[in-house]
Amino acid sequence: MSLISEFREFIARGNVIDLAVAVVIGAAFNKIVTALVDGIIMPTIATLSGGVSVDDWEYVVEPAQVDAAGKEIAAEVAIRYGHVLQSVIDFMLISFVIFIVLKAYNRLRHHEDRKETEKQEAKKVTEPAEDVVLLREIRDLLKQRDA
């Protein structure tokens, strides 16, 4: 089997298409969550922390060195713990939003499953069991033979 035919077979599988759709939807969902975090939640946190963005928090190890003309000779050396903290906050918020969406989805799916189960139960109640149907057919055949 050639490499091209193997690749064609691989792409033709449904799992690859499902995965591609999931990646596209995930990217779109990521934009929504990022907009929520960057546009609403983080400005609120910045306001509560005195107007400073969490991403700007840092510990300066060595300040920038500037010459008499104001030109920077050496860049500032700083530990940007705010950037790490911002990433952790982003992760937690994105995880929480995904949790809420999945919880709502599972609740909706559970509701649909329950409705389907109720339909199946109602169908079972209205339809007699197979052995009852067979016994009725035998009874009817015996009545026809005796008549």
And the tokens for 124?
Answer: 């079972």
Residue 94 φ/ψ, nearest 5 degrees: -65, -40
Q: Which residues contact 59 (CB under 8 A, 6 or more apart)?
A: 78, 79, 81
Ranges of each domain in the chain:
1-51
Look up residue 9 and give its two tokens: 């077979």
According to the model, what pLDDT value does residue 125 have? 67
| DSSP for residue 38 | I
Instruction: Average the pLDDT over 121-134 and give the result.
Output: 77
Residue-level pLDDT at 22 = 84
Q: What span, in angstroms and rounded, lies between the C-alpha atoms of 95 and 109?
A: 21
What is the Cα–Cα distance from 58 to 55, expressed in whole angstroms? 8
Q: Which of 4-8, 51-55, 95-99, 106-110 has the lowest mean pLDDT?
A: 51-55
The three-point CA angle 111-113-118 to 5° equals 95
* Model confidence at 33: pLDDT above 70: yes
Q: Where are the alpha helices (DSSP H) in 2-129?
A: 3-12, 14-36, 42-48, 81-126
From residue 1, alpha-carbon distances to 10, 15, 22, 139 in Å are: 13, 21, 30, 62
Percent of the chain with pLDDT over 70: 97
Q: Between 15 and 105, where is the model more confident? A: 105
More confident residue, 79 or 19: 79
CB 53 within 8 A of CB 46: yes
Per-residue pLDDT for 7 more than 70?
Answer: yes
Average pLDDT value for the chain: 82
pLDDT digits (tens, 9 = 90+) for 51-97: 777 777 888 888 888 888 878 888 888 888 888 888 888 788 878 87
* 93: exposed, middle or buried (Cβ count in 10 Å: 0-12, 13-18, 19+): middle
